[in-house]
Structure 1
Amino acid sequence: MLRKLKYTPVLLLSQLPFWLIYILSDISFLFLYYLLGYRKAIVRKNLTASFPEKAISEIKAIEKAFYRHFTDLIFESGKFLSVSEKTIKQRFQVLNPEVFESFFNQGKSLIMYTAHYGNWEWLAAIPLSLSHKVVTFYQPLRSAYYEALMKDTRERFGAMAVPSKKGYKTVVELGSQGALSVTCIIGDQRPKRNSSRHWVKFLNQDTPFLIGADRIARKTNYPVFFPLMKKTSRGHYTLEFVKVIENPIEATAEEIIERYTAILEKAIVEVPHLWLWSHNRWKLKREENE
């Protein structure tokens, strides 16, 4: 409790009822989109390059829908700090937990290859639907305050948040202890210039994907799944586990990435505004490393 006191401003905001945080979200949308124009040039550029067949009117419609979802996501992430278990179960429903449970019954751990799609912060509620440990990798933040806040928020329903650099070691240690787990790794972040990467044709563009989750999958031979999220209404989501590959050892690291990106691309094409378009995803060009 004492540790949470330092989060008082965020904690107070998270205590507001959903109807009120959505009023604040609507106001924030107007500010970010019309007044500040937050990353609007990047969003427009990304959407236009990804959907060259769409008219500018369609691009603008997706753009506005993205910003509305984005501001909802900001407030929903804050709300997660104090939302009750009963409420989150009503608003975030895992449709097929039995898929993971069937592997647990076989003594197998799993990897969930995630993305910045839907409400990825609420993935931290998955432990409420599963019988074994959930591990989430994260990139440390420059601010110790915000990193502690993020870690405490993501762990409040039982997930174990570990820095990415310690991720593989943690997975191995859990396995050596005989503990079954689900390891969540975000796969759609832009690789750093000095990082290993695999190039894929993704959303009509040459796109680098970080090599990492695929290697862990092959080393452990843990089945890999993608969490397909759908926004059924404002503040309500469903999650379906979609299989990427059952036996990673039978594929190359590149093939695993390509299977993952195919599933992610399909989800984005079907409901584009749920992806994080404000990220400068295509800043790194292929010719820079050829």
Structure 2
Amino acid sequence: MKLTHIARLKFFPFYLISLLPMPILYLISDVLYIIVYKVVSYREKVVRYNLVNAFPERTGYEINIIEKKFYHHLCDIAVEAIKTLTISEKEIKKRLIIRNPELLLDFQKKHQSILMYAAHQGNWEWLVYLPIYFQIPSYTFYKPLKNGYFNELFLTIRERFGVKCIAAKKGYRTIIRQKNENLSVMNCIIGDQSPKRKQAKIWKEFMNRETAFLTGAEKIADRTGPAVVFPNFRKIKRGHYELQFHIVEKTETSSIIDNYIKLLESSIRKSPELWLWSHKRWKLSS
């Protein structure tokens, strides 16, 4: 879907940048890396603290390598998100390979709803491309930004290919309504958010630390019965990703959250630079 004339004018600086070819965008990302990491040192203390605690077995040199790779990847995500304003479906299909589409296609044929239990891993922003691959109404739940201009920009980016963005505070009611209306949909929830103090939470071991997890996804799965799926990204090279889906099931000995944590931690340990280490994930303590 092309941007409207009004959207092009309103977000003209970002629209103009998005028209640039990917090699030029990655040159911009390289410059951005120097500014973010070397000059501004954006959340460097948070990143280093998180990495040291997550990988106590790693040397200082190894931690530094992961840190640099993470900041490079973070800047790549920024320009890749802006590119969403003008990227074509043809180019998307060259850059995002779905390794096991049959998993979701099978649920789609059965008219079974899907709960995409995602994380800040790989390029999570590219999950908004899933409507290109799967003909199922798609929703994602997000926390609105305080800045109205940038909030609208991100909504424009995320909704361009058919995803509908719903404010997180309306998420549960939206999913219950979908269930009551017998709708077959795909909802995306980011599961590695840090809960607020008053939110319902459960404490689990994650990356060598006691970590608070929101219980919403588990409650939604229990009440509405969707297929719960974890999307795992692998970065092949700059601007090229593979996405593989894993079913997250409750068993007699483990909850959906337990199995989500296992999948996420395995993914992080394989490619630590692809997770959002600048996020204050452990700001709560048990």
* TM-score computed with the length of structure 1 as normaliser: 0.93
Aligned to 1:276: 276
Letter aligned with residue 259 of structure 1: N
Tell whether the 8 Å contact from 1:94 to 1:126 is kept in structure 2 after alignment: no
Aligned to 1:259: 259
Query: Structure 1 residues 101-110 or 122-131, which shifts more?
Result: 101-110
Is 1:236 aligned to residue 265 of structure 2?
no
Displacement after TM superposition at 1:32 (Å) = 1.5
Aligned to 2:226: 222
Displacement after TM superposition at 1:141 (Å) = 1.2
Q: Quick one: distance in 2 between partners of 1:199 and 1:232?
A: 34
Aligned to 2:17: 13
Q: Quick one: distance in 2 between partners of 1:199 and 1:251?
A: 19
Is 1:3 aligned to residue 13 of structure 2?
no
Displacement after TM superposition at 1:251 (Å) = 6.7
What does 1:61-80 align with in structure 2 at a 5 Å threshold?
A: 61-80=65-84
Aligned with residue 109 of structure 2, among 102, 105, 108 = 105
Q: Quick one: distance in 2 between partners of 1:60 and 1:104?
A: 43
Letter aligned with residue 262 of structure 1: K
Q: What number of residue pairs does the alignment pair up?
A: 282
Tell whether the 8 Å contact from 1:112 to 1:182 is kept in structure 2 after alignment: yes
Q: Secondary structure at the match of 1:41?
A: helix
Q: Secondary structure at the match of 1:121?
A: helix
Displacement after TM superposition at 1:182 (Å) = 1.0
What CA deviation, in whole Å up to 9, does each residue of 1:35-93 have, x standing for no partner? 22111111111000000001111000000000110111111111111111111111112
What does 1:161-176 align with in structure 2 at a 5 Å threshold?
A: 161-176=165-180
Q: Quick one: distance in 2 between partners of 1:199 and 1:87?
A: 41
Query: Structure 1 residues 174-183 or 232-241, which shifts more?
Result: 174-183
Is 1:96 aligned to residue 100 of structure 2?
yes
Aligned with residue 137 of structure 2, among 133, 153, 169 = 133
Q: Secondary structure at the match of 1:208?
A: strand
Tell whether the 8 Å contact from 1:226 to 1:244 is kept in structure 2 after alignment: yes
Aligned with residue 35 of structure 2, among 9, 31, 38 = 31
Letter aligned with residue 159 of structure 1: V
Displacement after TM superposition at 1:212 (Å) = 0.8
What does 1:106-125 align with in structure 2 at a 5 Å threshold?
A: 106-125=110-129
Aligned with residue 196 of structure 1, among 197, 200, 217 = 200
Superposition RMSD in Å: 1.5
Q: Secondary structure at the match of 1:277?
A: coil
Q: Quick one: distance in 2 between partners of 1:22 and 1:14?
A: 12
What CA deviation, in whole Å up to 9, does each residue of 1:78-131 have, x standing for no partner? 111111111111111212121111122222111010000000111100111102
Tell whether the 8 Å contact from 1:92 to 1:237 is kept in structure 2 after alignment: yes
Displacement after TM superposition at 1:261 (Å) = 0.8
